[in-house]
Structure 1
Amino acid sequence: MSKVPPYGKVKEGREEEILDPEIAILDSHHHLFDRPHLRYMQEDYQDDVNAGHKIIGTVYIETQAFARVDGPEELRPVGEVEFANGLANKMTSGVYGPCRVAAAIVGYADMTTGDRVAATLDASIAAAPQRFRGIRQIAIAHPDENALRFLTHRPPPDLLKSPAFRAAYRHLAPRGLSFDATVLHHQLPELAQLADDFPDTLIVLNHAGLAMAMDSGPQAREEGFQLWRRNMKELARRPNVVCKVGGFGTSYWGFGFNERTDPIGFRELSAAWRPYVETAIEAFGANRCMMESNYPNDGRSCGFVPLWNAMKYIVQSYSAEEKTALFRGTAEKFYRVDLSLAETVHEKTRA
């Protein structure tokens, strides 16, 4: 059991100087929800954004929050899309700050329903026609049941291989929708096969492929890293796959920061994360990588300020063009977001 309460490090590190404060960031992966004992809503995220980094927009990612409680089962996930789109509309007023929260939205659909998923997709598009960009259904699988203990929603085993999933998956590309894939590193070959079988469907790999090292010793960690590295390089050969670089605050990586009660700064984070960040960018290239906060989930391990400082510190020697791609450009392109006006408003607000 973690010594730190859920998301207990969220506000840590705000005394740190903001590295490269001029870098504009499109946070490509964050969540909002209001559950018993776990609440992280727009005002909480705004509080983190206002801590100093130049977050000009975000991609809202589903957690099966705010689903409808009645009506047809396949339409219940649309409630979360409606929530996120309503929030996005509110944020365009500028009253709540210049950051365009939920500028793009990735919702949930039950991909085990085969062709019936079409109703979910079409209703989600109708609910957020300017922002709905794709769906995510977590596909994490592991032979050790204990490895799944942090999942709030358990996916069916062998989800990516199931005929029903593949029948549902065929409905994405004709609608211009992508699939956000959350898997562990040993599942990356399955994802590569999916990319090969459906070359017209864009896959966005979440959390850099989660090199599972939770509850692992040094030798197992090194073996896992090498397998992850090989699998990432092989997956990157598929041009229809892009990679989110982040999620390192989750327990799966086994860094142990979530178990500590002392403050953790960006230098310590960057030292631990660097091999994974650099490997992911080397495999996919900056133009196919996008940085993410995975907040508030990564708040179990580090504060919002140190998290982004660590990411900036790791890539400090990269070119200006590469940094632009990593922190905003790739996400803008693949989620089809235009934040040029939001950046202008941001600059006027800060002036």
Structure 2
Amino acid sequence: MPAVGDAKREYPGLIDRKDAALKAWLEKRPREAALEPDLPIIDPHHHFWDTPQRGHYFLPELLADIGGGHNIVSTVFLECQAMYRKHGPAEMAPVGEVEFVNGIAAMSASGNYGPCRVAEGIVGYADLRIGARVRDVLEAEIAVAGGRFRGIRQGVAWDEHDSISRHASRKVPLHLVRDKTFREGFAQLAKLGLSFESWQYHPQLSDAVDLTRAFPDTTIILDHVGGVLGVGPYAGRRQEILQSWAKDIRAMAECPNVAVKLGGLGMTSFGFDFHERDVPPSSEELAAAWRPYIETCIEAFGVNRCMFESNFPPDKQSCGYTELWNAFKRITANASAAEKTALYSGTAARVYRLTAP
């Protein structure tokens, strides 16, 4: 398993290299041939953005990544604060992101950009802290999404250490999901047939369990295997954290309304050193590092509640798109055909109501 970063080094954030520098680094390792190239894949988690801090990642960049030989049949877009509306009520600003992505999805649906149905599902953002009034925001997002809107993500990632929390995409208070007004907003999701993406760090998984138990009729998707931290004060404690995280994962899996995304491990917050190497890792190296997290989740949730994800471009900090899916396929090499169907497309198609391959 790769060495963990120096505990004294601050959390480097999600996006270190951007665009040209990242492309040059990834090209130091020739792209691998795709394993099991005929296996249909739904990629249920990627982003689009264009900012000075994050760089540029739109449809052409995604198509270049998915064009490496894997059979990516459709994708789901996840909110990332892209193209918010400049004018109008602040709470309605995220409607602009859904509208923007629906335009990209419409381009893809024309068939002019290849067979993959890009952004067949869209997960947006709405601030549940405004309580029941959030229904107006949700209905506006449904209206502009062309039938593609599936739910929201409101990240609640929080940590007491400045080296972690100062890099979170949004500043949130501790135990936000236990707040009464937040839960009044959360209660609107099931009424509209919408899901919730749970994105937090691993020390907050007990909060996620509490929220899940309080809303058994709401579909909840646990992002990025629960958000394991391995940087800052968490560096050098991988085995200790793995044990406590696995206990919380099993508790989360006891709730039948939860599915889990297998991915996000390429983010630098997980504490692997791949992004610091002179040459990007091979899929064999990725599989060896990621296997304990992937297999623990599959064992706890079962294949019918697990779905592999790319989390691109954040995970691009550690590897190429083709190598990422090769790593997943190495981990599942001994799975049956039915199990692979569930992990790579079936669960995502059911949870997000997409066209099944």
SS in 1 for 2:156: coil
Query: Structure 2: how far apart are the matches of 1:42 and 1:222?
Result: 39
1:131 to 132, 148, 151: 148
Query: Structure 2: how far apart are the matches of 1:110 and 1:4?
Result: 28
Q: Which runs of 4+ in 1 moved over 4 A?
A: 1-4, 7-14
1:15 to 31, 37, 53: 31
What is the Cα deviation at residue 260 of structure 1? 2.0
Letter of the structure 2 residue corresponding to residue 5 of structure 1: R
SS in 2 for 1:331: helix
1:315 to 327, 332, 339: 332
Report what 2:17 is aligned to: 5
Query: Structure 2: how far apart are the matches of 1:102 and 1:69?
Result: 23
2:47 to 16, 31, 39: 31
**Stretches of structure 2 lacking an aligned partner (at least 5 in a row):** 1-9
1:210 to 198, 219, 227: 227
2:132 corresponds to 1:115: yes
SS in 2 for 1:172: helix
What is the Cα deviation at residue 14 of structure 1? 4.8
What is the Cα deviation at residue 121 of structure 1? 0.3
Kept in 1, the 8 Å contact 2:102–2:146? The answer is no
- RMSD, aligned α-carbons: 1.6
Query: Could you give the per-residue CA deviations for residues 30-51 of structure 1, whole angstroms, max 9, x where no partner exists?
Result: 0000112511111000011112
What is the Cα deviation at residue 154 of structure 1? 2.5
Query: Could you give the per-residue CA deviations for residues 264-316 of structure 1, whole angstroms, max 9, x where no partner exists?
Result: 11000000000111001111000000010000000111111111100011011
Report what 2:306 is aligned to: 289
What is the Cα deviation at residue 6 of structure 1? 3.5
Report what 1:70 is aligned to: 87
What is the Cα deviation at residue 26 of structure 1? 0.3
Query: Structure 1: how far apart are the matches of 2:61 and 2:106?
Result: 18
Report what 1:345 is aligned to: none
Report what 1:86 is aligned to: 103
Report what 1:324 is aligned to: 341
Query: Structure 2: how far apart are the matches of 1:207 and 1:40?
Result: 20
2:49 corresponds to 1:41: no
Q: TM-score scaled by structure 2? A: 0.91
Kept in 2, the 8 Å contact 1:9–1:303? The answer is no
SS in 1 for 2:99: helix
What is the Cα deviation at residue 261 of structure 1? 2.6
Query: Structure 2: how far apart are the matches of 1:35 and 1:276?
Result: 31
Report what 1:172 is aligned to: 189
2:206 to 186, 189, 214: 189
SS in 2 for 1:112: helix
